Chain A
Amino acid sequence: MSAAVAADAVAPDNAEQPTRRGQELLLLCFAWVLGSLALANVGWATQDGLPARFWTALAVLAGAGLVAHAAVRALAPYAEPVMLPTAYLLNYLGLVMIYRLDVAAARRAEENGSPAPTPEVIGQLTWTVLGVLLLAAVLLIVRDHRKLQRYTYISLIVGVALLLLPLVPGLGTTINGARLWISVGPFSFQPGELAKIALAIFLAGYLVTHRESLAIVRRKVLGVSLPRGRDLGPLLGAWLLALAIMAFETDLGTAAIFFGMFVAMVYVATQRRGWLVLGAFLLVVGGLLANLLYGHVRTRVQIWLDPFEFANDQGYQIVQSLYGLANGGLLGTGWGQGYPQLVPFASSDFILSAFGEELGLTGIFAVLLFYAILVQRGLRTAVACRDVFGRLLATGLAFVFALQVFIVAGGVTKLIPLTGLTTPFLSAGGSALIANWIMVALLLRISDITRRPDPVIQSPDQALTQVVRL
């Protein structure tokens, strides 16, 4: 019997779990080729030749991909292989579309005789490189996601502080009617994007310890079991926080993201449908309240109900987006051959409609599928994770991606009222981009810990008996 134990313990354990880093590299190369082809296509279609500094851009992006791959290979070798290439591809395609809109803006400035606008793509490329470096840094610093649980309440303080930062006089700036930015010197940053991550860590840590009491059923109303009254505190707190964001920073999208993430994580932690019902109820009440109290929310709803009535003023953006999508049709106009620049904020809030115009329904479905794959990988990581904290954190992060894509895609296609939110990885916007890379890094870390085989113990006897040097 002891021989059998020894034999089992001696067997190499690491050989059985493939790291699958090769597949990741292959997918990354494919993503690089696809993005480079799109960039060349933009050049050929708009100026009869490759874009300026084409090879430099290709080299920088290849370098970014390789750095990300090397970081994962060295620091999270057992992480799942699809998430990184998917994020990289979306980021690359977003860069190409932003470059394409820069070309259109420069051309228009030339026709009007006005000075050429500063290209957005340079900034976005810098943020991309920074995002990849942050991915490596997060993998280096967070060696085990379970350690993050220690910082539950610090995360809460950090998250709320980040949310309140734009309200500080002198530091916060109002851009396009929303007070979401802070500017220090020439740099402006949207701290709410990072607050998302901090609050996800807090919620995961909080729910690990308070899951039990939140799951207690008080009574059944219409076949739905509702939680106890006093356990409603956190949910109401999150609801009030969301309402406060909307009231003071006038941003519907961020409020919806926070509230949605909270309800999803509480639901997953307690497995009680009552929370979903309550969440939906509070969402409706909050929406109605906002509609009553705030003029800009009321305008959004009216535009949503009939954009063509306001086609020349407030509804111009959404109407142009719909025209763009119609112009794209099934197969799109091709890179650089549509008119996505006619939509205001085409590079940030409306980048999905730019993709819809130039790549058509076929292309936008592919892009949405890549998002679906990203979210599925995140949720799969959550299901496979062996500790509750990791499960909840992965669920929260993956759900934020899903909700954000839904709100943006629903907004530009007039399914739901429009809210200004960035499309993950595609939109121009540095703070959102680096926050997304950090979220991917955390998901990679959780999946690495989950899939990593346990260290090989030579044999129980040897492991327990050691030579102690005196």
Chain B
Amino acid sequence: MSELALTLLRLGFLVLLWVGVLFTLSVLRRDLRAPREARPAPVAAPGGQQPAASSPPRRARSGGKGSRLVVTEGPLSGTVVPLGTTPVTIGRAADSTLVVEDDYASTNHCRIYSAGGEWVVEDLNSTNGTWLDRTRITRPTVLPVGVPLRVGRSVMQVRK
């Protein structure tokens, strides 16, 4: 092969290698938007949804309920759990949504679910209790945005 062709091939390969780097980084860039990406899609899906069921969630969205649960203290500090359509369970059980490795938490400690356009936290008969701000909750309680929820040694709050 001629000298010129080999030189072009050499430079061409380096260019392609860097195109590969940039291509990979462009796929990664979406990761920076991970919290938004993980947020549940609008519930009003086209078709396949009962008409009666599609209206309450839309009202809920305008009511300004949070979309993610952020752990602010404890070993899992910094973890973000997207709040979607399924209930979020917290506890030491391996099948919990948020698995807390904490001697002060129960196996099935509490769960958070959506009802009436609000997030509701319910204690699942845990030993040390679920604390909303400074009070121990005894029945399903509305979980407002930004109020600390204490489970064992972890503190978490709902954010928008």
Contacts and interface: CB of A to CB of B under 8 A. Distances in A.
B98 interface: yes
Contacts of B99: 146, 386-388
Interface in B1-48: 1, 5-7, 9-11, 13-14, 16-18, 20-21, 23-25, 27-28, 31, 34, 37-41, 43, 45
Contacts, number: 168
Contact of B27 (A15, A23, A360): A23
Nearest to A86: B24
Nearest to B71: A386
B85 interface: yes
Interface string A324-343: 00000001111101000000
Classify the interface of chain A: helix, strand, loop or mixed: helix
A454 B86 contact: yes
Contacts of A38: 13
B1 A11 contact: no
A384 B27 CA distance: 17
B70 to A, nearest CB: 13
Contact of A85 (B14, B24, B117): B24
Contacts of A17: 37-38
A161 B50 CA distance: 60
B43 A27 contact: no
Contact of A370 (B21, B37, B81): B21
A380 B98 contact: no
Interface stretch (A29-37, A117-125, A219-227): A29-37
A34 B43 contact: no
A456 interface: yes
Contacts of A80: 31
A1 B54 contact: no
Interface string B60-85: 10000000000000011011010011
A373 B29 CA distance: 12
A82 B6 contact: no
Taking residues whose C-beta sits less than 8 angstroms from the other chain, chain A's interface range is 35 or more
Taking residues whose C-beta sits less than 8 angstroms from the other chain, chain B's interface range is 35 or more
A41 B24 contact: no
Interface string A393-411: 0000000000000000000
A37 B6 contact: no
Nearest to B45: A12
Interface in A416-469: 453-457, 460
Given A12-B45, A335-B13, A388-B101, A369 B21 contact: yes
Nearest to B53: A7
A49 to B, nearest CB: 9
B115 interface: yes
B114 A8 contact: yes
A387 B28 contact: no
A1 B116 contact: yes
Interface string B83-96: 01111000000100
A82 B21 contact: no
A8 B57 contact: yes
Interface of A: 1, 3-13, 15-18, 20, 23, 27, 30-31, 34, 37-38, 41, 44-45, 48, 80-82, 85-86, 89, 144, 146, 208-209, 211-212, 331-335, 337, 359-360, 362-363, 366, 369-370, 373, 376-377, 380, 383-384, 386-389, 453-457, 460
16 contacts: A3-B56, A4-B117, A5-B114, A8-B43, A8-B115, A12-B45, A27-B23, A44-B1, A80-B31, A82-B24, A82-B28, A211-B75, A334-B10, A359-B13, A386-B76, A453-B84
